[in-house]
Amino acid sequence: MSRFRRRYGASPLHALAHLAAFALAGFALLQLVDVRAAGNVLVWFVGAVVLHDFVLLPFYSALDRAAQAVGGRVPAVNHLRVPAGLSALLLLVFFPLILGRSTDKLEHVSAAPAADYLARWLLISGALFAGSAVLYVARSRRAAAKRAPGAAAATDRASS
């Protein structure tokens, strides 16, 4: 029992309660969307977990370690992580519209013409990366000014 608590971080009752809550939420979702073949949803979910845990997680962990190894005065890794994560999140949420697969359905349901989601996603992603680059340059310059020998002497004279 204590070994389980050390590895999991909580009691087995906590894990059981979460499993029951996930099962109930899954059942409610299946009833809500009126899915007849729940097995297909389960296969899709297991496939998504396997794809993420065994393919995507090692891939982006290796990319993250490579970015951290580059380093510098101001680490660039966070200035790449944030816009890439936000862009990926937008792609995940809107990928059928970005790829043009659901525009007919959207127009039918909303009675409004579908916008060019690919161009808008690319524009938003570009703006995120550009804003992050501007912030990176500003932080790099501030760090370089703090480390410059003339700036340190001037700061010491001003504080005296």
Span 149-155, mean pLDDT? 56
For residue range 28-81, list pLDDT tens digits in order: 877 777 767 777 777 878 888 899 899 989 998 898 888 778 766 777 888 888
**Closest C-alpha to 56, from 27, 84, 20:** 84
Question: Taking 80 as the threshold, does the pLDDT of residue 112 lie above it?
Answer: no
More confident residue, 126 or 104: 126
Computed over every residue of the chain, the mean pLDDT equals 82
- 83, with CB counted inside 10 A (0-12, 13-18, 19+), is buried
CA angle 10/15/17 to nearest 5° reads 120
Confidence (pLDDT) at 126:
97
Question: Taking 60 as the threshold, does the pLDDT of residue 120 lie above it?
Answer: yes
Span 108-126, mean pLDDT? 85
Question: Taking 80 as the threshold, does the pLDDT of residue 91 lie above it?
Answer: yes
Six-digit token pair at 150? 């003339």
Span 112-125, mean pLDDT? 88
Six-digit token pair at 127? 């703006």
Q: Left if phi > 0, otherwise alpha if psi is -120 to 50, otherwise beta: which for 72?
A: left
Question: Taking 60 as the threshold, does the pLDDT of residue 8 lie above it?
Answer: yes
- What's the pTM value of the predicted model, to 2 decimals? 0.59
